Amino acid sequence: MNSPRVYQTEAIVLKRIKLGEADRILTLYTPSLGKIRAVAKGSRRTTSKLGGHVELLTHSQLMLARGRNLDIVTQAQTIDNFLALKENLDKLSFGLYISELVDSFTPDHVEDRRLFNLLLDTLQQLTQDKDASSILRYFELRLLDYLGYRPQLRQCANCGSPIKPAVNSFSSKHGGILCHDCGYQEPSARSLSLNALKVMRLWQNCEYSTALRVRIDSKLASELEKVMREYIKFLLEKQLKSTEWLDKLKRDSSLQLRENAGTENRQQM
Amino acid sequence: MSADFTPTAKPIARLIEEFNKLPGIGPKSAQRLTYYILRAPAVEAEALADAIRTVKEKVALCSVCYNITDTDPCSICQDSERDHSVICIVEEPIDIIPLERTTKFKGLYHVLHGVLSPSDGIGPEELKTRELLARLNGGSVTEVILATNPNVEGEATAMYLQRLIAPLGLRITRLARGLPYGGDLEYADDVTIARALEGRQEM
């Protein structure tokens, strides 16, 4: 090894697990080293100088020292702690979903600066009061794009014939849209409305600012969520654990809305 | 005898194997512990065996607060000197120890036995939340103190419980989050300092 003994990097904390008495192993996403893991010694003590700087979903400047096995965080300074995200249960849950998604899809030590920037932008977007479901879907599409799983949406992913402007179907197995005939023959494909297709096509090729300008009603949002979740599940060969929690939050809040509409009593902290 | 190494006596091999299952005990430590037990007086070995057996037989969860206890309800829940209208919610039984050490808190506890962690698949069903609601619905409680850890999972749990409990109209408070005693302002993170400023007090 001829790399320097200590090095600096920016990082976003994706995950942390307890280690021994007061330490943690962090999973970090960095701009130039990709996903790495490092030990934050003593970070569980209340008087730790790392503590809040290496908390989950925090963007920090880190100094690391090469360790025998895992590298060790020696200094940390927060760049952005996305406080607004952490003080709202829904936003925080979306953030946790995003971090699980990145952690599940990325291999260790593979640099992808675009992905780092996307992750940073997405957390930033989530702190603002914007349509969170659009943010998540846009993030998923772009993430898959960068990782080489960009769904084929321009022509039939099976026979290559052009797609007619009508209801078509999406096949996770084929990684894209199927024309009417091919969709008919693929039992695992699910129907995809023209609006959903249009939105997905747009999001594949636009910036955040454009993506969030599209108005999406709840029916379309739920269709997009189902398509993307199925595709992601197919690619990962597992369901992401935090989706269960997101579903529960959604159920709870719709229940709450119905109750509030009935009794008109509003609660606040 | 098989090709792989096994100590001469079967009981020894068995004890080594059992020790080896414990956290932080590797094969070498397991051997050392086994030979220590072997040489130790019989009373000492009996005492260890008995302690292990009792811990499994006698210790259970308190049916009120879910703290670890050998009586049911636990000594804290039984104590009539304590304020039964205030409940402090903690993540783990071990969190009660530092709170009790202060002798400042005279209420009761409720142990969740975990913390919300969506990416590990731990939701409210895995915690003692239903039991908490049932207890609060009993009507004698007026204040709930959320004492989960001041980190992402702890905050998420506190926010979730706040949502859950709010309809009951109780007073809900959260342990203050700010600078730790014996700490250093220079190293404190922005969230901690921001909250310490928000919660500053007249002196």
In order of A137, A254, A256, A269, B169, the CA distances from A259 in angstroms are 29, 9, 5, 18, 15
Closest CA to B187 of A185, A84, A15, A78: A78
- The answer to whether the peptide bond before residue B73 is cis (omega within 30 degrees of 0) is yes
pLDDT of residue B181: 86
pLDDT of residue A266: 46
Q: For the sheet containing A176-178, what is the strand order?
A: A176-178, A168-171, A190-192
Report residue B97 as tokens.
């120890």
Residue A97 makes CB contacts below 8 A (sequence gap 6+) with A136, A240, A242, A243, A246, B118, B119
- Each domain of chain A, given as residue ranges in start order, spans 6-81, 130-259
CA distance to partner chain A, nearest, from residue B172 (Å): 8
The verdict on B163 touching A (C-beta cutoff 8 Å) is: yes
Query: What is the CATH architecture of B10-58?
Result: Orthogonal Bundle (1.10)
Closest CA to A34 of A101, A105, A110: A110
Query: At residue B3, does pLDDT exceed 80?
Result: no
Question: Is B192 in Cβ contact with A100 (below 8 Å)?
Answer: no
Q: Write out chain A residues lying below 8 Å of B180, CB-based.
A: 46-47
Question: Is B166 in Cβ contact with A52 (below 8 Å)?
Answer: no
The verdict on B194 touching A (C-beta cutoff 8 Å) is: yes
Q: Write out chain B residues lying below 8 Å of A103, CB-based.
A: 119
Burial class (CB in 10 A: 0-12, 13-18, 19+), A258: exposed
Residue with tokens 């310490």: B196
* Class of the domain covering A130-259: mainly alpha
- Pair B144, B87: CB distance under 8 Å: yes
CATH number of A6-81: 2.40.50.140
pTM, whole model, 2 decimals? Answer: 0.86
- Beta bridge partner(s), residue A12: A29, A59
Question: Is B123 in Cβ contact with A89 (below 8 Å)?
Answer: no
Mean pLDDT of chain B: 90
ipTM score of the complex? 0.86
What percent of chain B has a predicted confidence (pLDDT) above 90? 70
**Burial call B132-166: b when 16+ CB within 10 Å, e when fewer:** beebbeeeebeebbbbbbbbbbbbbbbbbbbbbbe
CA dist B99 and B72 (Å) reads: 21
The closest CB to that of A248, out of B123, B159, B162, belongs to B123
The verdict on A199 touching B (C-beta cutoff 8 Å) is: no
The closest CB to that of A99, out of B119, B151, B163, belongs to B119
CA dist B109 and B83 (Å) reads: 11
Tell me how far apart the 2 most distant CA atoms of chain A are, in Å.
Answer: 69
pLDDT of residue A111: 94
pLDDT of residue B10: 87
Portions of chain B given CATH number 3.40.1360.10: 68-198
The closest CB to that of A51, out of B124, B155, B189, belongs to B189
Indicate which of B102, B148, B162, B191 best probes the interface with A, i.e. most A CBs within 10 Å of its own CB.
B191
pLDDT digits (tens, 9 = 90+) for B106-148: 999 999 999 999 989 899 999 999 999 999 998 889 999 999 9
Report residue A98 as tokens.
């995003």
CATH number of B68-198: 3.40.1360.10
pLDDT band per the 50, 70, 90 thresholds, residue B162: very high
Query: At residue B48, does pLDDT exceed 60?
Result: yes
Mean pLDDT of chain A: 91
CA dist B85 and B81 (Å) reads: 12
pLDDT band per the 50, 70, 90 thresholds, residue B178: confident
Helix A89-105, helix A241-263: angle, nearest 10:
160
Q: Which helix (H) or strand (E) holds A122?
A: helix A113-127
- State which residues of chain A have pLDDT below 70: 1-3, 260-269
Looking at B102-200, list the stretches that DSSP marks H as alpha helix, in order from N- to C-terminal side: 129-137, 152-165, 190-198
Residue A54: closest C-alpha in chain B: B189
Query: At residue B188, does pLDDT exceed 90?
Result: no
The verdict on A166 touching B (C-beta cutoff 8 Å) is: no
Question: Is A55 in Cβ contact with B191 (below 8 Å)?
Answer: yes
Question: Is A81 in Cβ contact with B190 (below 8 Å)?
Answer: yes
CA dist A252 and A248 (Å) reads: 6
CA dist A74 and A251 (Å) reads: 43
Closest CA to A224 of A100, A131, A107: A131
CA distance to partner chain B, nearest, from residue A153 (Å): 30
pLDDT digits (tens, 9 = 90+) for B65-98: 999 998 889 999 999 999 999 999 999 999 999 9
- Pair B96, B111: CB distance under 8 Å: yes
The verdict on B188 touching A (C-beta cutoff 8 Å) is: yes
Residue B160 makes CB contacts below 8 A (sequence gap 6+) with A89, B116, B124
